[in-house]
Amino acid sequence: MFKTILVPIDLTHKSSYIRILPAAAEEARYHGAQLYVMTVIPDITSGVDWRYAIRGAQEGSEAYSRKKLEQQAQKRIEVLIKEHVPAGGVAVNTLVKHGTIFKEILDTAEEIKANLIILAAYRPSLKDYLLGSNASRVVRHAHCSVMVIRDD
């Protein structure tokens, strides 16, 4: 049923990958699907570590260049896959994107023709009810099935 599964993770929040990666690998193995694990480097500073954000079209400072951040994120994803995706039987691809988180997830899902997006959600705070979380935006706007796995 599912041939391409997209798993967006936030490298700064363990809860976004600790349960998701093994569950996604199991789902991919069951369906014989390709697994894409991605992260998005946000281009806004609101609510994120300013050193991690790249503003606008600028490449950032020497210490925090976009290319350097992408390389670091790529290495981190590879480590997490080794730690949390059981070996054997699953083709895993990695992607690092830059931009608005929910938009990059949706665009990537379209680009790779994902049949399923598996993502983590956390207990919403009041501001999430007013503004909406990235997970809720993905659920509302995705053109494919979305599986949301909540924290305990």
Residues 6+ apart with CB under 8 A from 101: 8, 40, 42, 134
What average pLDDT does range 5-18 have in this prediction? 90
* Residue range 4-150, CATH number: 3.40.50.620
pLDDT in tens, 142-152: 999 999 988 76
User: What span, in angstroms and rounded, lies between the C-alpha atoms of 113 and 33?
Assistant: 12
- In this predicted structure, the answer to whether residue 62 has a pLDDT above a threshold of 70 is no
Is residue 78 classed as helix, strand or coil in its secondary structure?
helix
What average pLDDT does range 2-25 have in this prediction? 91
Distances (CA, A) of 99 to 58, 76, 139, 146: 12, 19, 18, 21
For the chain, domain boundaries: 4-150
Token duo for residue 88: 């054997």
pLDDT in tens, 96-142: 999 999 999 999 999 999 999 999 886 655 554 544 588 889 999 99
Distances (CA, A) of 64 to 23, 29, 126: 33, 37, 32
pLDDT above 70 as % of the chain? 78
